[in-house]
Structures are given as C-alpha cells and as structure tokens.
Chain A
Amino acid sequence: MSGAGGMDVRKPIGLMFLIVGLILIGYGVATGGDPMYAKSLSININLYWGVAMAVFGAVFVGFSFLGKK
C-alpha cells in the first residue's frame, strides 16, 4: 500500500471529535448555571454541543472499525 491506502481518515477525525466533545461535556457540567451563559442566550451550549460532537466522533470511530475501506 502506498499514498494513503494504509490509514483510514475516519479514525483520527472521529477520535478528535470524541475527545473535544467529552472535554466540552465535562466543562459544561462543571459550569452549569454560570453567568457566562448569558452570552449564549442562557443555553449551556458547551454541554449540548459537546454531546453532538461526541456522538459524531463516536459514529466516525465506529464506522472506521466496521468498514475496512
């Protein structure tokens, strides 16, 4: 294999989104109700967007293990 054949791009991308997602979830939980969320219209955007990113990342990692392409 040469060029790119040896590595599935979904693995690193999925992993990165999973890690960043988990960091945001952790931070969102820790700062729940903090006045800084006035900026994001009183939505704990760290928590919700962290969940979205973690799910996206997990799906990508999952696919990279399923499909051997």
Chain B
Amino acid sequence: MPSVKLILIDYVIMAVYFAFVLGIGFALKRYMKSSTDYFLSGRSIPAWVAGLAFISANLGAQEVIGMGASGAKYGIATSHFYWIGAIPAMVFVGIFMMPFYYGSKARSVPEYLKLRFDEKTRGLNAISFAVMTIFSSGVSLYAMGKLFNLLLGWDYNFSMLMASVIVLGYIFLGGLTSAIYNEVLQFFLIVFGFLPLVFLGLRDVGGWAGLQARLATHSVAQGFAPTAYTQSWAFMGETTKNPIGVEWFGLAMGLGFVLSFGYWCTDFLVVQRAMAADSMTAARRTPLIAAIPKMLFPFLVILPGMLALTIGTTASNPTPTTAVARPAEVKQGIIPAKTNKDGKVEVDEKGKPVFDYDLATPMMLIHYLPSGMLGLGLTALLASFMSGMAGNVTAFNTVWTYDIYQSYFKKDASDEHYLWMGRVATVAGIALSVAAAYIAASFNNIMDVLQLVFAFVNAPLFATFMLGMFWKRSTGHGAFIGLVSGTLAAAIHHGISLPEGAKVGFKGGYFGVLLKPYHSELAQTFWTAIAAWTTCFLVTIVVSLMTKPREEKELVGLVYSLTPKPDEGKIAFLTRPAVLAVIVLALTVVLNVIFF
C-alpha cells in the first residue's frame, strides 16, 4: 500500500543525483595512487570539507529518521542529544584529542590504541569495530528498503541493491576522498531537502507559538505540564515530569558525558574524516567547524517530528491514497499507528495503539511536498541512507586493511597490495552489509541482541581513551582489562534492570530485576553507560598501577603531558581552534537558554 506515487520529474531529479555521485567517483579514480590516498585521502582535505563530511557521515538515516521520531516522542528535549551531547564532545575531540590522533600519524583509531597501549587492545577494538560497522550498515540498508517499500511501493530487493551498487561504485573508485566529497554533497542535499518541511510545517501551524499551543494540548493529554514538549530543561528535575523519563544527572552524565563523548571522540567513522585533513590545525578545526551546523540540526531534524505530531490529517491534503487502505485511520497528527501482519493496529498492554514514530519525517515529506520537490525530498532521504552506509564502509575497509589484515595476515606487503586489499574490502564490506540486511529482515531478534552487545562494547571506550591520552601511567594490560570489565559491567547492569512496563528479555532483567525499574528505556541506557564507563575507568587505574608502565620517551606524541603544545601563533585569531571552541560553546549555551 504505497502512500504516494512519483512522476517523471521526481525520477529526473533522483537520476541527476545518482549521476553526480558516481561522476565524483570516476573523476577521483586517477588520484588514488597509494593506500594513504585511498584510506586517508592523502591527508589533503581542507578543514571545511572535512568538517562537513564529519557530520554528514553521521547524518545517516538513524539521525534523519531517528531524531524526527524522537522529536515526536520527546519533543524539544531531544535537542539534548545535540546541545549537551554532540557539541561539547566535538569541541573536546577537536581541542584535546586531535593532537594525538593526527599528531601520532596513526592511520586509524585502533592503530592509536596499538601505539599507545598494545596489540591486544588494538585487536579488541578493531575487530569489534569492524563487525559493528558491517551490521549497522546492514541494519540501515534494511530500514531503507522497508521505508521505500512502504512509501513508494518499491521492491525492497531492488532498492537495497540499487543503493549498495551506487555506494560500492563511488567508494571502489575514489576511496575515502570520494566518500568525503559525496558526504559534503549529501549534506547540502539533506539541508535543501528537509528545510522546506520545517518552513511549510511552521507556517501551517502558525509558527513556533502555534506549535507550542498545539503541543500543549498533546502534552497535557500525556499527563505532563503544558510546556513539557517545548522546554528542554525546565522539567528535568524529576523523571516523571518529562517525556524522556530521566532526571538531569542521568542525562548529563549518561548521554552528555559517557555516550556522546564515547561516540564523537572514539568512533573511527567520524574521526577518520578529521584524520584526512590537510594539517594539524585543519584536523583540530574539523570537528569545531562541524559543530556549527550541528548545533542547528535540531531545527532541521527534530522539528519535523514535532510538527508531524500536531498536523491535522483532514485539512488541505488532497492525497487520495490514504482513505481506504488504512485500518481505522488511527493516527497521531500525521503519524500512523503500527500495523501487524493481518493489517490490524498494534496495541500495547494498556490497549493503546502503538505509533510508528519512524514515519514522522517521511510522512511530512509526503504531506507537504508536491511533485518536483517531492523528488528532491526523497532524494535527500536516499542520500542520508547512502552517506551513512558509505561512512561505515570506508571506516570498515580501513580498519580491516590496516588493523586486521596488515597486523594479523600479511605484515610487509607492498603499498599497492594494501591499496588492492582496500578495494577488495570495499566490495566485501558492501556484500556483507547486504547479507546483514537480509539477516535483519528475517530474524529481527538477532539484530536486537547484536545492537545490545555493541552498546555494551562501546560504552566504556571513552574511559580508555581519556586515561590513555591524559594519564601517562596507564598501561596496555590496564586498558584491555578495563575495557573487558566495562563491557561486562554494562551487560550486568542491563541484566539486573528493566524499564517500567517492559517484559524481561531484550529490554533487560535477564539476571533478575534487582534495581528499581527505570522510568524509560532511555534512562536505563544512560545508566548502563554510566556503569560501564565508571567500571572501566576504575579497573584501568587499578590494573595500571599494578603493571609495569612504558618508558616515557616512547609516549611522546601520544600522551598530553609528554607532548609539546601545538603552536598557533601564526594562525589568524578567529580561526584558531581554541577561539572557535569558545564561540561554539557560547552559542550552545545560548541555545540551551532559549529553549530552557
């Protein structure tokens, strides 16, 4: 039951986009002469290009669709993912961590761990990261197939195949440079594709004031204060007063500190973009430049979700397709309820319908955009899926080639051999993603379990990097045992806790529910992360103190206290990383205050 039909003009716009992404790959092919060109763009990317690629690689479907969904579920409080989450973390990685990533000449994040700690710590990180990138690329490919099937009635074998072949084409040819250039293109395309939704939606509901008024009704109906969906901090005092179901400490520590710093500061998918920058200053500026558009993203990706919640389905919508096929027209705004296989509306334990919030943003596209613009909007949606997949594949081929193949299979081959291996890994990475997508399609539960395991593996990482970079006494054994115990701590915490109203199983409680139930799943996630980080931090310190430290001279360039500070004397004042950082943080504070 497709919701909308595309016409020729929409396909023309899509075709122009495909022609350009592949064209960029072809044009770059002749520059790919060494493995450094292929995996690190020959470290020649200007800061602004690396910066836009830095956020665009992450601007996959999880962000565009997921943040729209969260906007509909939690309202403006979703902006915490940006304003205390991503932005401070991006400033931190630019100012404090990039000197070691870039300065150490490590070719990947796991390789930094090898230089700083030892082979086993690198191996653990490289292997878990490689597996993770493949599965997340597969999960998002599957989500794309499902979404385009639902919206346009496209066959999902066809759409998954098409997207993977195009991504394969441009990465195979042009390596990381091609991925980065296309990410910049995709960034602008996503902005241009989604901005009209915000504009038209706000105009329709009577601006921000109109949206506040409409959400007040919704908020009261859910049992919150009238402004709980339009104020981000005011109701964070108690878990029961805000739609996220978490209090400020769990939010600031769990989301702000552990999860966001863990992702933005240690995930090779994003850090790789900065490592490709053309100088140390450019590398440090990359996340800071990225932070400026990033702090405005809530308006682009969260607002459509909030708007979707409040828009009447009857007014000014001539689309005739929805009338008959939908079961009972159960909707919240324009967000439809989930339906099960017999076409019945899914309900929760209390008998209330379960809404498919992931459709909030796509429904906005269909609701507001006429033919022509609709083609642009859907192309932007496709672009977001493709940039996410390309980000995963380029990170995978690098980690595979440098950290796994070169360290465990073939140590001293020629550079051409590794360049060849990179291309092989690209093809294999895409093929494995497609396989993962089909696994996701047939065994939903396996994916839930895997994503849970990945969350456990990722949660403690930031503690390891922090100690590695800022405490010269930390050792390889400490780091390795710390990471393993942090992951175990995450699993144990998750296993003894449960969100309210959830059943024992994937949601937790499999070791027996020992803790007071959390008010929401997010609160449980945040506290799981806090448990993992703290355990890893403490265990690493204790084990390090019991094991032999490395010689200080081996750690120059890898640890803060032993590395000369970068000289910024010659750079224009306003473009110095430290100055940029202060500007970025000040603007973020202003945004937090405006929506307090």
Contact = CB atoms under 8 A, between A and B. Distances in A.
B367 interface: yes
Nearest to B34: A2
Contacts of B188: 13, 17, 56
Interface of B: 9, 12-13, 16-17, 20, 23-24, 27-28, 30-31, 33-34, 36-37, 40-46, 49, 177, 180-181, 184-185, 188, 192, 196, 200, 203-204, 276, 316-319, 367-373, 376
* Residue of B45, B49, B317, B372 with highest tally of chain A CB at under 10 A: B372
Contact of A24 (B17, B20, B204, B373): B373
B372 A27 contact: yes
A11 B20 CA distance: 11
A46 B318 contact: no
Interface of A: 1-7, 9, 12-13, 15-17, 19-20, 23-24, 27-28, 31, 34-41, 43, 45-46, 49, 52-53, 56, 69
A27 B16 CA distance: 15
20 contacts: A2-B31, A2-B34, A3-B37, A3-B42, A3-B44, A4-B180, A6-B31, A12-B20, A12-B24, A16-B20, A16-B185, A20-B13, A20-B16, A23-B13, A23-B16, A31-B372, A39-B319, A41-B200, A45-B196, A56-B188
A12 B40 CA distance: 21
A13 B17 CA distance: 10
Contact of B42 (A4, A12, A52): A4
Q: Is the interface of A mostly helix, strand, loop or mixed?
A: helix
B42 A2 contact: yes
A40 B200 contact: yes
A23 B44 contact: no
Given A12-B23, A28-B372, A39-B368, 19 more contacts: A2-B36, A3-B40, A3-B42, A4-B42, A4-B44, A15-B20, A19-B16, A20-B16, A31-B371, A36-B370, A36-B371, A39-B367, A43-B200, A45-B370, A49-B192, A49-B196, A52-B192, A53-B192, A56-B192
A24 B318 contact: no
Nearest to A60: B188
